[in-house]
Amino acid sequence: MVLFSAQDVIKDYAAHRALDRVSISVEEGQVHGLLGPNGAGKTTLIRIINQITAPDQGELFFEGRPMRASDIHQIGYLPEERGLYKKMKVGEQALYFAQLKGLSKRDALKSLKVWFEKFEIQAWWNKKVEELSKGMQQKVQFIITVVHKPKLLIFDEPFSGFDPINTNLLKQEILNLRKEGATIIFSTHNMASVEEICDHISLINKSKKIVDGPIHELKEHYKNHVFEIQYKGETYDFTRLLEADFRIIEHRQAERNNVLKVQHLNGKSNNELLQKLMQQIEIISFQEIIPSMNEVFIKVVEQANQK
Amino acid sequence: MNKAILVLKREYLTRVKKKSFIVTTLLMPVLMAAIFIIPTYLGMSDDKKERTIAVYDESSLFLDQLKGNEYTKLVFVPREEYEQIKKKQKETAYYALLYIPANILVSNRAQLFSEKQVTFDVSNLLENRIEDIIERDKRNKVIEETGVPDLEKKLAATSTDIKLSTLKIEAEGKAKESSSVLVGVMGYIMGFLIYMFMFMYGMMVMRGVMEEKSSRVVEVIISSVKPVQLMFGKIIGIALVGLTQIALWILLGFIIVTGLGMFLGVDAGQMQQAQNLMNPDMMGNAAQLATSGSANKYQEMMEMAGTLPVFTILFSFVFYFLGGYLLYSSLLAAVGSAVDSEEDSQQLVFPVILPLILSIMLLFPIAKNPEGPLAFWTSMIPFTSPIIMLARIPYGIPWWELALSMFLLVITIIGAIWMAAKIYRTGILMYGKKVNMKEIIKWLRYRN
């Protein structure tokens, strides 16, 4: 079931069109990556979803019907820059935000306690926010975002300012939330985390959505048909064998074996290549190189910019 | 719970719990009390020191006539001793050395020598005593020469002390005693209080808005709270902080005045009388009143204060106090929402608070002529009326002027709040844009 969708959203700022007919659709239980270079319009879209600004055209749907102002209570938003009162104590602040999101004081205290224990930050309850490091503040902000158990979570660059240990902790918590059935829109530049966390991505470039789909499909779609083969024995000269339809990218000797990287130019069948090689060498491993999200991202954006 | 109440509660509690708030609230009355009481206390304790002063009287006019008082003793010395003391006064027990020259009646001059600076009390005492003696001698001589019988008594009878009572004619034709000084001081104090409150707490509202904007808190909560709720929660929460502070100051001031009064041993009977005066049933106790001069003065003050339009003053004070604050704090909230940093705020804050500064500067000229056209117009214009009108009210104001001024203020507040809410809604979520007046006027035209 589609939890949230935006259709043909347009947003203009003076002479600049920030979003140009952008549509996204987020399934329930999905972690939806929102990718794009700086200034592409991701934050504008997030602000529209959060009802911070209204779109000039286009429609938003929540749980299948047009989105209402009250639906905002079902959304938890973690902004890219910290949104905390610096002079206020951590505990009081978390309680205040939780109550603003509609929790009663008792429920708020109860679930805040659970979260503070989970992150092992009970000792910060009476500290002022300004006494905390950036990463520590981000933890508090994260708790504030999720404490009222919203149906839709929006994370804008959640890992910025975190050390690897805390990045991992936060990643685990996001994965836990996904396991528990939360729906997440996840905006980031960190492609490694996209691959680990997201099911589906939308890529926005220059105000337009240029790619949308499940991660594995995208990788499949943008793969280059590159294979890496390891074989035993003498180094073999492939120049004649792989003359047509193939391009040798790399051929070197590793510790005990030889490594060959080759691209299949017409990309018909993997077995065709395998058959050719089997006759000549003793293959140890044969594997197609699937591009990383990083490579897909760069490729897609470059292609779009060339058009 | 209502979101606006939640916002209001936070604005109030975080400020009231702040160390700086607690410190200024507690310290201010103590400081004020210290300014008034310490000099009095020091003055009282200082005078008890016993001093002896050597006097060399070359004119021989003062022997046996010039006397000191309880703490200042005078000892007449001959010429030789005078010379000696003058050389090494430090080694002697004398505090100072008074030299009265032979020609004092002509020169009107005497000299007081001392190693240390002589206190004002001592020099004042000596001066007065010498003056008195010379005056008396001169007068006696004149009386003797003219030979009019009982001239001294007749002259004494000419001594007069006039007190000017200012009376205000009421509508019913009755005249009541009033005090122009009291009226002026009262107007000034009230005007100044309102100015302080609007300025301090208006700026507090602005800084609060800017804090929320620059820390991006607003992005997190704007989804749960409407911008207008957020703005009003802040404005009213901070107003309550101000009222709390003023209430505490009054309470603490009362405690300190009472407590220190007892500590310094201000005549307990006098205090009792002052209290009796507050109680109208005891007013008739004339015998008790007559015993103390200061009690009479107090009664005079109370009677004069009674002629002021007390109810009108109280009502208008509360009205203009809150009205002025609402007007300026909503405008300053709008300014705070429009700018990104403290530096950017300066150029927009100045035009907003200019009328405030102007009204404080106008207080003195208006006190001189509270009926003039300047006073009239500035107490109609809503940006200056909270201060100016309040300063004029103790002088007595036609009711229609007051009503018109209040009406104009209310209309302007509604307009200002409407405008501020529009600017706030757009400005609070706008980043990285240099905002000027033209831009803000554009925001006012936005439908959303």
**Model confidence at B12, in pLDDT bands (50, 70, 90)?**
very high
Q: Which residue from A82, A96, A144 is facing B10, i.e. has the nearest CB?
A: A96
| Helices and strands, number each (H, E), in chain A | 9, 14
* Interchain CB distance below 8 Å, B14 and A54: no
Task: Read off the pLDDT of each residue in B277-293 and give the average, rounded to a whole number.
Answer: 41
Q: Which residue from A51, A81, A88 is facing B223, i.e. has the nearest CB?
A: A51
Task: Read off the pLDDT of each residue in A188-205 and give the average, rounded to a whole number.
Answer: 86
Angle at A74 between CA A72 and CA A76, to 5 degrees: 85
| Region of poorest pLDDT, from A22-26, A80-84, B34-38, B280-284 | B280-284
A75 touches chain B (CB under 8 A): yes
Of A207, A194, A208, A146, which Cα lies nearest the Cα of A173?
A146
Q: What's the Rg (C-alpha) of chain A?
A: 24
Please report residues of A whose CB lies closer than 8 A to that of B18.
87
Average pLDDT of chain A is 86
CB B59 within 8 A of CB B101: yes
* Interchain CB distance below 8 Å, A83 and B225: no
A79 touches chain B (CB under 8 A): yes
State the smallest CA–CA distance between residue A83 and chain B in angstroms: 4
Distance CA(B66)–CA(B59), nearest Å, equals 12
Q: Which residue from A86, A96, A144 is facing B215, i.e. has the nearest CB?
A: A86
What is residue A163's predicted lDDT score, i.e. its pLDDT?
Answer: 84
What is residue B47's predicted lDDT score, i.e. its pLDDT?
Answer: 56
CB A143 within 8 A of CB A98: no
Q: Assess whether pLDDT exceeds 50 at residue B290.
A: no
Q: Which residue from B215, B222, B225 is facing A52, i.e. has the nearest CB?
A: B222
Six token digits for residue A190: 């960190």
A267: phi > 0 → left, psi -120 to 50 → alpha, else beta; which? left
In this structure, which amino acid lies at residue B166? T
Task: Read off the pLDDT of each residue in A213-233 and give the average, rounded to a whole number.
Answer: 85
Please report residues of B whose CB lies closer than 8 A to that of A97.
220-221
* Interchain CB distance below 8 Å, A51 and B448: no
Number of CB pairs, chain A paired with chain B, less than 8 A apart: 62
A107 touches chain B (CB under 8 A): no
What is residue B381's predicted lDDT score, i.e. its pLDDT?
Answer: 92
Of A90, B9, A149, which Cα lies nearest the Cα of B1?
B9
For an interface test with B, the pick among A57, A68, A85 (most B C-beta atoms closer than 10 Å) comes out as: A85
Query: If interface means Cβ-Cβ distance under 8 Å, which residues of chain B face chain A?
Result: 1, 3, 6-7, 10, 14, 18, 211-212, 215-225, 429, 448
Distance CA(A20)–CA(A41), nearest Å, equals 9
Of A237, A241, A232, A242, which Cα lies nearest the Cα of A283?
A232
Distance CA(B330)–CA(B364), nearest Å, equals 28
Q: Which of residues 29-48 of A touch B (CB under 8 A)?
A: 47
* Interchain CB distance below 8 Å, A102 and B224: yes
Six token digits for residue B287: 């015998």
Convert the pLDDT of each residue in B347-374 to its tens digit: 888 888 899 999 988 888 887 788 888 8
Q: What's the Rg (C-alpha) of chain B?
A: 32
**Quick one: CA torsion of B258, B259, B260, B264, rounded to 10 degrees?**
100
Distance CA(B356)–CA(B382), nearest Å, equals 11
State the smallest CA–CA distance between residue A155 and chain B in angstroms: 12
* Interchain CB distance below 8 Å, B429 and A53: yes
Q: Which residue from B1, B7, B219 is facing A52, i.e. has the nearest CB?
A: B219
* Interchain CB distance below 8 Å, A52 and B215: no
CB A74 within 8 A of CB A151: yes
Report all structural domains of chain A as residue ranges with CATH numbers, in order of start. Answer: 2-220 (3.40.50.300), 224-289 (3.30.70)
State the smallest CA–CA distance between residue B250 and chain A in angstroms: 29
* Interchain CB distance below 8 Å, A75 and B223: yes
Which DSSP string corresponds to A68-108?
-GGGGGGEEEE-SS----TTSBHHHHHHHHHHHTT--HHHH
**Model confidence at B166, in pLDDT bands (50, 70, 90)?**
low
| Region of poorest pLDDT, from A35-44, B262-271, B297-306, B398-407 | B262-271
Q: Assess whether pLDDT exceeds 80 at residue A188.
A: yes
* Interchain CB distance below 8 Å, A85 and B225: no
State the smallest CA–CA distance between residue B204 and chain A in angstroms: 15
| Region of poorest pLDDT, from A151-165, A225-239, B45-59 | B45-59
Q: Which residue has the tokens 């809503």?
A: B382
Q: Assess whether pLDDT exceeds 80 at residue A289.
A: yes
Distance CA(A219)–CA(A292), nearest Å, equals 7
In this structure, which amino acid lies at residue A39? G
Q: Which residue has the higher pLDDT, B276 or A260?
A: A260
Please report residues of A whose CB lies closer than 8 A to that of B221.
83, 97, 100
**Model confidence at B293, in pLDDT bands (50, 70, 90)?**
very low
Q: Which residue has the higher pLDDT, B447 or B441?
A: B441
What is residue A249's predicted lDDT score, i.e. its pLDDT?
Answer: 84
Q: Which residue of chain A has the CA closest to B212?
A: A85
In this structure, which amino acid lies at residue B51? R
Please report residues of B whose CB lies closer than 8 A to that of A82.
215-216
Phi, psi of A78 (to 5 degrees): -105, 105
Six token digits for residue B114: 């001392």
**Quick one: CA torsion of A39, A45, A50, A56, rounded to 10 degrees?**
110
* Interchain CB distance below 8 Å, A52 and B1: no
| DSSP tag of A60 | E
Convert the pLDDT of each residue in B171-182 to its tens digit: 554 545 556 667
For an interface test with A, the pick among B12, B218, B219, B426 (most A C-beta atoms closer than 10 Å) comes out as: B219
Sequence-separated contacts (24+) of A121-128 with Cβ below 8 Å: A121/A90, A124/A90, A124/A91, A125/A89, A125/A90, A125/A91, A126/A89, A126/A90, A126/A91, A127/A89, A127/A90, A128/A86, A128/A87, A128/A88, A128/A89, A128/A90
- Residues in a beta bridge with B166: B178
Six token digits for residue A304: 């779009």
Q: Which residue has the higher pLDDT, A249 or B309?
A: A249
A140 touches chain B (CB under 8 A): no
For an interface test with A, the pick among B19, B217, B443 (most A C-beta atoms closer than 10 Å) comes out as: B217
CB A88 within 8 A of CB A132: no
Q: Assess whether pLDDT exceeds 50 at residue B284.
A: no
A160 touches chain B (CB under 8 A): no
| Region of poorest pLDDT, from B119-133, B149-163, B347-361 | B149-163
Task: Read off the pLDDT of each residue in A248-263 and give the average, rounded to a whole number.
Answer: 84
CB-based contacts of B133: which residues, under 8 Å, 6+ apart? Answer: B61, B62, B65, B66
Q: What would be the CATH architecture of the domain defined by B50-147?
A: 3-Layer(aba) Sandwich (3.40)
The strand pair at A200-205 and A31-35 is best described as parallel
Q: Which residue of chain A has the CA closest to B216?
A: A83
A81 touches chain B (CB under 8 A): yes
Phi, psi of A77 (to 5 degrees): -120, 125
| DSSP tag of B57 | E
Distance CA(A207)–CA(A11), nearest Å, equals 9
What is residue A23's predicted lDDT score, i.e. its pLDDT?
Answer: 93
Q: Which residue has the higher pLDDT, A64 or B60?
A: A64
Please report residues of B whose CB lies closer than 8 A to that of A47.
219, 429
Residues of chain B with CATH 3.40.190.10: 50-147
What is residue A268's predicted lDDT score, i.e. its pLDDT?
Answer: 64
Q: Which residue from B211, B212, B220 is facing A77, i.e. has the nearest CB?
A: B220
Q: Assess whether pLDDT exceeds 70 at residue B261.
A: no
B372: phi > 0 → left, psi -120 to 50 → alpha, else beta; which? beta
**Model confidence at B439, in pLDDT bands (50, 70, 90)?**
confident
**Model confidence at B169, in pLDDT bands (50, 70, 90)?**
low
Distance CA(A45)–CA(A34), nearest Å, equals 10
